[in-house]
Structure 1
Amino acid sequence: MNIERKELIELCDKFLNREITKSELEFYAFNAIMSDEFDWDDDDNVISETIFDWDNEIINFPINEVNMKLWKKRLETNVDELLEHNNWNVHIEKQKDICEKYKSKWKPISRNLKVGISENLNLEKLNGLRHKTEKGKVCWYIWSGDYSENDDFFKPICAEHLLQRNPKIIKYLGLDDGFRFLITESGYEDVWFDENLLKS
């Protein structure tokens, strides 16, 4: 049986529609690799990488809805964004570039640090600000849409989880205490220092 991209795209859709499980996808990939009955074009690295990704999520990427959409995108367009959504370290150089561009000291946070985020990070406009860093306290607050003073507006999550929620935010998290940013889906970017953030 010759495996083509269209078949893998169909499997992506079936997973996203909950017609097949993660275990079934792993079983398919394992069989494709181990059985002599399966074959695919050796020159198509996207097919090979996708099958090997699905065979072992422990050393590759978790099989989940976010990553499945990215696998489908890679199969359809050859655009690969899986590392950006799964590997914190690929954002480090981007952080340093942002800090240099806006004359900030690079002050990275641990990927395990809690950050405060609003419910929806997928609106047109995203805001972020960094208070003074104190051990055990949230220093970064990130929101989209209108700001609210309500106690439940910000939810604490581990910074690393932003990789799957909205990875373009990560490159701003190396900015020093007192910095703010505003970005939009259309590509607008503004970063500035607000000394008032250090007074609170």
Structure 2
Amino acid sequence: MEITRKDLIELCDKFLNGEISKEGIENFASNAIFSDDDDWDDEIISDTIFEWDNEEINFPINNVNMELWKKRLNGDEDELLKYNFWNSHIEPQKKICEKFDSLWKPINKKLKIGVSKNLNLDPLNGLRHNSEKGTTGWFIWSGEYSENDDFFEPICAEHLLQIRPEIIDYLGLDVGFRFLIDKNGYEDIWFDKKISKI
């Protein structure tokens, strides 16, 4: 039986609708790989099936990634690396630092960032203070800034990968830098002396 992109897109939809489990996706992939009856002649189909077969060495099977697999199967941009691998953001970080005359000062992805509750809103603001123990010094928020104690919540920097991965491209900026970005490509980056002295 020939496996088509349409077949895999239907599986993506079933997973996203809760009609098939992660184990069901893995079993489908494993059966397809080892079956003498299944066939496909498409690199995207092949990549997807082999990625589904082993999430330990590929991408986690979750809703965010399933939407990305579906996009790729539909012929759209492949963003799985951007949403899953921290190191895919190193070169963009260096380019941004060079463009705005900042030292490239990368952070440890396991350390904490302060974020506001809803990072899906635009625009996004970010500023980098000096780091303290266990933190990166970065604070990121959307909407109106607030001085309330509960405005920022700490999360590990790497969790931004599956929330708003484009933020990571700015996290190599040095202490004292700020940014303002949105999903439409707006970008403003500047150095704020007051922050660097705090």
Instruction: Tell me the TM-score normalised to structure 2 length.
Output: 0.97
- Which residue is equivalent to 1:171? 169
Cα offset, 1:16, TM superposition: 0.4
The amino acid across from 2:146 in the alignment is: S
8 Å contact 2:176–2:194 — kept in the other structure?
A: yes
Q: How many percent of aligned residue pairs carry the same amino acid?
A: 68
Q: 1:195 aligns with which of 176, 193, 196?
A: 193
What residue in structure 1 maps to residue 23 of structure 2? 23
* 8 Å contact kept, 2:126–2:138: yes
CA distance in 1, matches of 2:121, 2:69: 23
CA deviation profile, 1:91-110 (whole Å, cap 9, x unmatched):
00110000000000110001
Name the counterpart of 1:40. Answer: 40
Report the Cα distance in structure 1 between the residues aligned to 2:136 and 2:98, rounded to whole angstroms: 24
2:146 paired with 1:148: yes
Written as runs of structure 1 = structure 2, the 5 A alignment for 1:5-154 is 5-41=5-41, 44-154=42-152
1:168 partner amino acid: E
Q: Distance in 2 between matches of 1:178 and 1:102?
A: 12
Helix, strand or coil at the partner of 1:84: helix
Alpha-carbon distance in 1 for matches of 2:174, 2:122 = 25
Change (3 A) 1:179 1:103: same
How many pairs does the alignment contain? 198
Secondary structure of 2:74's aligned partner? helix
Paired residue secondary structure (1:96): helix
Which digits, 9 at most, give the CA deviation of each residue in 1:25-81, with x for residues without a partner? 00000000001121111xx11000000010000000000000000000000024200
1:46–1:78 CA contact under 8 A, matched in 2: no
Secondary structure at the residue paired with 1:38? coil
Distance 1:73 1:7 in 2: 14
The 1:149/1:138 distance shift into structure 2, 3 A limit, reads farther
* More moved, 45-54 vs 75-84: 75-84
Conservation of the 8 A alpha-carbon contact between 2:123 and 2:182? yes
User: 1: distance between equivalents of 2:76 and 2:189?
Assistant: 32
- Contiguous gaps of at least 5 residues in structure 1: none
Counterpart-to-counterpart distance in 2, 1:81 and 1:186:
17
C-alpha displacement of 1:135: 3.0
Equivalent-residue separation in structure 2 for 1:49 and 1:172 (angstroms) = 30
Aligned partner of 2:16: which letter? L
- Output the CA distance in 2 between the equivalents of 1:133 and 1:47: 44
Distance across 2 between alignment mates of 1:136 and 1:10 = 43
Measured after TM superposition, the shift of residue 138 of structure 1 is 4.6
Q: Secondary structure at the match of 1:186?
A: coil
For the aligned residue pairs, the C-alpha RMSD in angstroms reads 1.0
